[in-house]
Structure 1
């Protein structure tokens, strides 16, 4: 989606100047993966309008392949507007009803460009945002699209799923129906990421071990306790890695950045702790900027950060775009 961000904090009705940009769960992950040097493509639908052209241009500038983006001649590009409070916390206002992306469905995967990309991909990333598309309009195109990706994955191809709970997208259904849908989809994925706060809201528990019992299907389950620690379950056991101390500018986009870091580590064959650390570093990079997209450290800096001892890791502090501590 396109994003409008006010230049100054305060109520929207008092905001006179806005910066335009691009945001959204899957596109954020795509941009963060590309920033880490992972070849990445983004598949979606946009309107034949200025905001749609902005999204394509900015993603392409960040190194994301947009060749499979479809243009809808009748529906507009989705938009959200940030409202920044005096304490720098953010509220997001979405304007995406009947947008081009709201009618995504399994047929989107059959377009030649999309089919070619999906046929080559080592990993396909999906979220609960896509799964919710169409419900308020009375159809289930988003859920059927996620199911189609899961059904069509080829041997060796991984599918990751980030819960990304957005209650307004499921408005009118209560919690029970979305919880059942999301649990079914997540349990069929290979890698699942979810936060303890959203897990509590959807599944009624924030306990990592209870969540693993609820979702036994994925090869890997990653449970994020924001600002504290992340716990990963796989066939080799359980690994927990504490979050970094970060001087936060804005929290929006940090979860997507973590997902990108973790998935990049997975694709590179990193062990579980190194994947979690890369996720933490990418999340910290996003937390230190006003916007959805942070800049990760250089390859040399990352190698030092990911290889430090437990005591060195706990001593790290992230502030103003830099990581400092007892590491050299």
Structure 2
């Protein structure tokens, strides 16, 4: 979508002008992954209009392959307007401190996607296929496409699914939460906010969410400013054969690491999943400018670590660093930290990590970075 950001604080009714930007959960993830040095392809549909031209050009400028983006001469490119603040998760959509968000996506080009839209060539060679619940909410045909892509087949790539429960998009469709749960069960890697799980499914805490989602090998539960808990099985150390970007043998599964503990099995008896390892990593202290886009950036950081074959604890820290970059800019996208810097920060001891404070502009460049490093 094209995103319109207010030129000054205030209600949408009072803001006189807006700045144009790009938005969209999947394209955000693709842009951050490409900026972090990975090969990324965005598959979608946009209108044959000026906004579609802008989206394709802007996303390609981030290094993303847009060759599989279809242009629809009959439907417009989706747009939305928002203010700063957190996205609402409650049924009324009016929680204190939440953003005003107005979508104009009904009948958009993207809403016309079908199970045949991606096509085999679009997914050829992919190691990870990242999907979100937002696309499922756009139309019945989009939901059919998500159901097809999350169907377990022997030759599919690792399927990553971010629940991204958006109350406004499911308006009038009470089956939305159940639909999202079914789609998540078909994925290999699931991202979900603790607040989302409570609002959508009345599930509270990582253990309860895991009990409802035993199928994915990796379950990432985002706990806001506190941190992230990942429940993962020992066979979930990468994105399949050849997952690491660098050539050479695949890294061995990590051994015991800081912040991990063995968890109980999801159930008992034959055919049940193996016991989980539970890994927790606290978030960073960040001077927040705007929260929108942080979840997508976290997913990109975690997926980057997955593609590199990093231990789960390091994947979480890389997710935190990418999220911190997004939190400190007004738009959905930020320049991610250079890989060498991210690796150095992710390797900090727990005490030094806890003393980091990241402010606006910290990823602008090493010489301009505003990082209050701990005194050691």
Change (3 A) 1:239 1:327: farther
Contact persistence 2:147–2:183 (CA under 8 A): yes
C-alpha contact (below 8 Å) 2:161/2:184 kept by paired residues? yes
- 1:116: which partner in 2? 121
Q: Answer yes or no: is 1:219 the counterpart of 2:217.
A: yes
* Residues 203-218 of structure 1 mapped to structure 2, 5 A cutoff: 203-218=201-216
**What do you get for the CA RMSD once the two structures are aligned?**
1.8
- Among 169, 179, 185, which residue is 1:181 paired with? 179
Residue in structure 1 matched with residue 230 of structure 2 by the alignment: 232
Greater helix share, structure number: 1
Q: Which residue of 1 aligns with 2:335?
A: 295
Deviation digits for residues 42-85 of structure 1, max 9, x if unmatched? 11110111101010010000111110111111110000012348
- Matching residue of 1:146: 146
Secondary structure of the structure 2 residue equivalent to 1:94: strand
Asked whether the 8 Å contact 1:254–1:292 carries over to 2, the reply is: yes
Distance 2:9 2:124 in 1: 45
- 1:17 offset after TM fit, Å? 2.8
Contact 1:2/1:80, CA 8 A, preserved across alignment: yes
Structure 1 position 92 matched with structure 2 position 101: yes
- How far did residue 172 of structure 1 move? 1.5
Question: C-alpha distance in 1, partners of 2:12/2:201?
Answer: 34
TM-score by length of 1: 0.92
1:48 paired to 2:53:
no
Please give the secondary structure, in 2, of the residue aligned with 1:211: helix
Whole-Å separation in 2 of the counterparts to 1:150 and 1:276: 24
The CA deviation at 1:126 is 0.3
Point out 4+ residue stretches in structure 1 off by more than 4 angstroms.
none
CA 159–319 in structure 1, closer or farther in 2 if over 3 Å, else same: same
Q: Deviations over 1:242-298 (max 9, x none)?
A: 000100000000000000000110011000100000000000000000100111112
| Matches for 1:170-319 after TM superposition, within 5 Å | 170-174=170-174, 177-236=175-234, 237-319=277-359
Q: Distance in 2 between matches of 1:21 and 1:33?
A: 18
Q: How much has 1:153 moved relative to structure 2?
A: 5.2
1:199 touches 1:206 (CA, 8 Å); kept in 2?
yes
State the alpha-carbon separation in 2 of the partners of residues 233 and 84 from structure 1.
Answer: 31
Deviation at 1:206, TM superposition (A): 2.6
What does 1:7-156 correspond to in 2, within 5 Å?
7-84=7-84, 90-110=99-119, 115-134=120-139, 140-151=140-151, 155=155
Show the counterpart of 1:166.
166
Contact 1:89 1:250 in 2 (8 A): no
| Structure-2 separation of matches of 1:254 and 1:59 | 18
Q: 1:62 and 1:154 mapped to 2: Cα distance?
A: 32
- Provide the C-alpha distance between the structure 1 equivalents of 2:294 and 2:84, rounded to a whole number of angstroms: 17
Preserved CA contact (<8 Å) 1:222 1:233: yes
Query: 1:149: Cα distance to partner?
Result: 1.5
Deviation of 1:325 after TM superposition, in Å, equals 2.3
- Whichever structure has more strand as a proportion of its residues is 1
Shift of 1:324: 2.5
Count of residue pairs brought into register by the alignment? 316
